[in-house]
Chains A and B, each alone.
Chain A
Amino acid sequence: MELAFEAVHKRRGDFTLRASGIFGPGVHLISGKVGAGKSTLAALAAGIMAPDTGTVKKNGVSSFTLSLQFPEWHITGNTIGEEILSWGLNAEDVLMRVGMKGRDHDDPLAISRGELKRLHLACICMRKWDLLILDEPFSGLDCRQKQELCRWIGEFRSGILLICTHESHFLPPVDFLWEMRDGVLFALGRVPEALAAWKQAPPLLKSLLCQGILPRNITEDDVREAAWKIRG
């Protein structure tokens, strides 16, 4: 099972994206500044956008989806219940999971963006995907919800998970690290070895790396544990 970008070029106005690489099973973090091309890459990976040149191939992938940055862009139902049903899920189970029991008749556009994002992510995470692409999954969530999302992602066992984000504090455990720099995709390798090459690493992680300390992974706990080693 793999997602392959073969010499992909995509031009959008003045911006050009260039990407080559193979995403195998595991959790892949694609980091990069705002406007670096992460969302374009995600759209190309999901097939909702076609490359100008090159190809994007999904080999052995039978089910896939993309979680767009703005949860309201996914809405096709007029009530929360209809929206959950549109994902092929049981409304009660999902509402129970996100702590919104009894709100299945509410208008999905009348709830806060944070609640809608949480609901949307719950719908995505409660289904099994061979390829799941999350574009800025942390936007609109508060600290506690970000931690919860990291825990969900940590439970991801099979398939390919791509996380495109510029989040620098609450990060999930990942297997592979990629970086978008000015529209170009760079494969940094497997974590934790890849961390040394991470140019846009979060400040605390960067300072640890400068002191020669390599955390086990990039989660808040891993970074904190590595920082304690300095004090110890």
Chain B
Amino acid sequence: MEDPRLRLFAVIAISICAFLSTVGALMTLAWWAVLTPGPRLLRQSPAPLFALVPVALISALGIATGGDGFSYFIRMTAIVLVASYAYQVRRPGEFLQVCGWMMGNRTGFDLGLSGEIGLSSLELLGRDLSRIRTAMQLKGMSLSWNTFGPIAGGMVIRLLSSSEDQADLLYTRGYSEGGTACPRFSRGTWDFVPFFAAIFFLILSFLEVRDIFILLQ
């Protein structure tokens, strides 16, 4: 999906669909697997799969205590996979453009800018982690409880320092509030297919399973 507006709305719709029911989550998984390049992107960069570790732990705890851990696992897995797809295909500046288009140059710009800063911080953390792994490899160090603390602390300090630099940069460029986003969007030929599919699945997820079969009859 090239148009970030359609992608954003489709991701929101399909995430709600996944959250509502297990059937909705299964439809979401099908949407992710068939209508997005998510599986291919995940093979190239499987890091988002780590987010499933706490999900699996909570699900196991839920099953062990007699709760609906299985449903939770399916629903959260679907949401994590959709979120990882949305993160992996995004381009810098896109969120700012969408917010500017949706809510104008004041609220939209501020919201978009905050979102962009947040997303770029995530990228910065990813790059930092990759560099630290290389540095540790070059020093012949391995990750242990002794090294984990200083490394995690260093990453947080670097992130805070980078936020300070960003704030200084915005200030020196005269930013106080709002701005001009000038959004421009391009749309792929098949962009509407996953968009309408997401909306359709969301509508279906509001219906009871038996209602779907009644509708089909």
Please report A residues at the B interface, Cβ cutoff 8 Å: 46, 48, 65-66, 68, 73-78, 82, 86-87, 107, 109
Contacts and interface: CB of A to CB of B under 8 A. Distances in A.
Contact of B147 (A46, A74, A76): A76
B150 A78 contact: yes
A66 B139 CA distance: 9
A43 B166 CA distance: 30
A63 to B, nearest CB: 8
Q: Is the interface of B mostly helix, strand, loop or mixed?
A: helix
B57 interface: no
B138 A77 contact: no
Contact of B154 (A48, A78, A87): A78
Contact of B157 (A74, A87, A109): A109
Contact of A75 (B141, B147, B154): B154
A78 B134 CA distance: 17
Contacts of B154: 75-78
A82 B135 contact: no
B90 interface: no
A100 B152 CA distance: 26
Given A82-B150, A86-B141, A76 B157 contact: no
B42 to A, nearest CB: 21
A73 B139 contact: no
B153 A78 contact: yes
Interface in B136-185: 136-139, 141, 147, 150-151, 153-154, 157-158, 161
A107 B160 CA distance: 14
Contacts of B187: none
Contact of B135 (A75, A78, A107): A75
SS class, residues of chain A in contact with chain B: loop
Contacts of B141: 76, 86
Contacts of A66: 138
| Contact size range, B | 10 to 19
B204 to A, nearest CB: 42
B132 interface: yes
A75 B138 CA distance: 11
A73 B154 CA distance: 12
B138 A48 contact: yes
B158 A87 contact: no
17 contacts: A46-B138, A48-B137, A65-B138, A65-B139, A66-B138, A73-B135, A75-B135, A75-B154, A76-B135, A76-B139, A76-B147, A76-B151, A76-B154, A77-B150, A78-B154, A87-B139, A109-B161
A76 B154 CA distance: 7
Contacts of A75: 135, 154
Contacts of B157: 78, 107, 109
Contacts of A86: 139, 141
A205 B117 CA distance: 49
Nearest to B132: A76
A73 B158 contact: no
B152 to A, nearest CB: 10
B131 interface: yes
Contacts of A82: 150
